[in-house]
Amino acid sequence: MEEVSMFTNKTDQSSQDLITGSEVLLRCLLMEGTECVFGYPGGNVLYIYDAMVNNPDFKHILTRHEQGAIHAADGYARSTGKTGVCIATSGPGATNLVTGIATAYMDSVPLVIITGNVPTTVIGTDAFQEADIISITMPITKHSYSVRDVHDLPRIIHEAFYIASTGRKGPVLIDIPKDVSNHKMYYDPSNKLNLQLQGYSATPNPDPTEIDKLIQAIAESEKPVIIAGGGVVYSNASDELLKFVNKTKIPVTTTLLGLGGFPSAHDLWLGMLGHHGTYTANMAIQNADLIISIGSRFDDRVTMKVDGFAPNAKWIAHIDIDPAEIGKIIKTDIACVGDIKAVLGYANTKAKPSKSNHWISNIQENKSMYPLRYKDSETELKPQYVLEMINSTTRGNAIITTDVGQHQMWVAQFYKFNHSRSLVTSGGSGTMGFGFPSAIGAQVGNPNRLVISINGDGGMQMCAQEMAICAINNIPVKIVVINNQVLGMVRQQQEIIYESRYSQIDLAGSPDFVKLAEAYGVKGLRASTKAEAHHIWQEALETPGPVLVEFVVPREENVYPMVLGGTTLDQLIMGDFE
């Protein structure tokens, strides 16, 4: 006799289906609103994939590598605010997800990761394709489950989605042994699950006393600055932040992950701060008397030399949903723990203008005197020019995904984001290979938006095989390759820090990207001059379906401003405009 699950009505099994764990998994994913799963099959998830055959409502995209699957799920999650889902088999399939799990964990992205495992009868025997993926990923997951009883599966799936998408969001892993995925249970989807997880507090309630202290500090401040981070985006608090700024008249600088969380056209936006931040933003931090970090964790690329960060600040205020971040890097005077949307919602009921008129005038003068600049050329195609062109043709309304390197920083500097969730990029982990597959997920989640994936020639080669699924599924991502035939950011650091001793950075043997795209069934275009760039970019935008556009740029171009490690934010290297 079959054991009856907690999800069933023990008095009446006539309305319940006797189905396998694999079928339960698919039904629960659909109940959670999962629109698409990205994955790659293997022996220990074959029961799950077999269940897909008889479930026409379940959408799955077969990537060409497990890393492509998890990056696609990540891009879907970041761009939609929903929980991304991916599936991989045991052993190497699961371990190929590790980089993507770490990427999502560092940037607080909600994912549910399904891995198969060997049957329970052989776990721990070093069976074929066995790996202890729970232990391997424990430091980089918000929570993990090893399912040993099929009757636990519905509860675990719903708990996983709840944990991944609440509080400080993050990846949750569910490891399902092969035999468990084929065990049967009576399943009744009409029964409701009351999620009460012992020891898990999803979202702490804001303390009005701390918010009142912040309001008082603002009233006394003459040189306030807001650092808006990724938390503003993840909590959907962009409108509340804009209202707060308009009420308090406080200038705003954004972190890399915070770009789009505050409109770039606003008079009080200073640009990005930190390692490759603007002169105006970095100098404002160093001269401010009040720093308000909103959803930013004071990452080392933001603070640079910690003991020289914001030396004139009388108060450091930190608004964050995760209490563990408060005071972790920078000593905090005012701690507002809670969901940013709720904290700012309360703050806006009491917010009044700061004494910042003179401060704002000084900042506007800096913006005028020290804008982002580069030496343009009539004979070469500069990468900054390409980004300005893409910005002007899309009016800042596209979803942009990036890989990691110089092009990522040029996007942050020269593309002006108008909307939240318009930038998808790997921040904390800095994962090369992320940019292109994340664009696939973003396009799947936003079928009516223009999605542009901007990559370097190095990162593009790490997941180039995913062009196949763009062609097969007609996913209309516009793929940009900024090709300088070198590992650009590494080359720049070797030039500046290592006295031009260049080591292992030459990518001149890379493939012809246009021919590579065509081999996968994707249209390929190339430009090396301004005239060609405008022509082929317009052609790419007018072409339905996926297009790869290669822009050939000089290999010697550097990203400026730049703050070296071990120095303070005001010690900027301005490059040609020193």
Q: Which of 23, 32, 66, 210 is catalytic?
A: 66
Assess whether 128 carries a catalytic annotation.
Answer: yes
Residue 110 tokens, joined: 């909600």
- The question of whether 129 is a catalytic residue gets the answer yes
Task: Dihedral sign for Cα 432, 433, 435, 441, please.
Answer: negative
What is the 8-class DSSP label of residue 518?
H
Catalytic residue list contains 13: no
CB proximity list for 423: less than 8 A, separation 6 or greater: 257, 259, 260, 399, 400, 401, 402, 411, 412, 417
Q: Helix or strand or coil: residue 569?
A: coil
Q: Helices 279-287 and 357-369, interaxial angle, to 10°?
A: 150
* Whole-angstrom Cα Rg for the chain: 25
Please pick, among 2, 128, 352, 539, the residue that the annotation labels catalytic: 128
Strand-strand pairing, 224-228 and 184-187: unpaired
Q: What separation in angstroms does the CA of 404 have from each of 43, 350, 426, 490, 575?
A: 33, 41, 7, 11, 21
Q: How many CB atoms lie within 10 A of CB 371?
A: 12
Question: Any catalytic annotation for residue 82?
Answer: no
| Active-site residue, selected from the candidate residues 142, 169, 178, 382 | 178
Q: Which of 129, 364, 493, 571 is catalytic?
A: 129
CA distance 366 to 383: 25
CB neighbour class for 492 (10 Å; exposed up to 12, middle 13-18, buried from 19): buried
Active-site residue, from 16, 489, 550, 557: 489
Number of neighbours of residue 485 by Cβ within 10 angstroms: 17
Whether 65 and 91 have beta carbons less than 8 Å apart is answered as no
Instruction: Name, in order, each residue with C-beta under 8 angstroms of 271's C-beta and a sequence gap of 6 or more.
Output: 253, 254, 277, 278, 280, 281, 372, 413
Cβ atoms of 494 and 505 closer than 8 Å: yes
- The residues annotated with a catalytic role in the active site are 66, 128-129, 178, 489
